[in-house]
Amino acid sequence: MFVASLRFELHIADSHSLKQKRAVLKPVLEGARRRFSVAVAEVDHQEKWQRSTIGIAVIASSHSHACEILDRVERFVWSFPELQVLATDRAWLEDA
């Protein structure tokens, strides 16, 4: 079993309220969840209008399959022109 996470630090320049921010993030969060069967949530900067941190987790039977899913999710997030990706970070859960 392989467990990995992917974190995105995002800037949403055209957002001027939390409502606008949620409208931009909703298709990203729901789309990733639906298309790639991953767990996804906003994990930081919930009260800021133009910043967000999104966390994504995947469980797969092989390392290569988990990497493939994370690569596809990363391309998906980068495809939204209204988001500026400031940073990404991958982490793996080590099996004891």
In angstroms, rounded to a whole number, what is the distance separating the alpha carbons of residues 92 and 10?
Answer: 21
pLDDT of residue 65: 93
In angstroms, rounded to a whole number, what is the distance separating the alpha carbons of residues 49 and 95?
Answer: 38
Note if the pTM is more than 0.95. no
pLDDT of residue 95: 62
Tokens 């400031």 correspond to what residue?
86
pLDDT of residue 96: 43
Q: Give the DSSP letter string of 24-41.
A: HHHHHHHHHHHHH--EEE
User: Which CATH code for domain 2-90?
Assistant: 3.30.70.1120
Residues of the chain with confidence (pLDDT) below 50: 96
pLDDT of residue 1: 86
State the CB neighbour count (10 A cutoff) for residue 45: 16
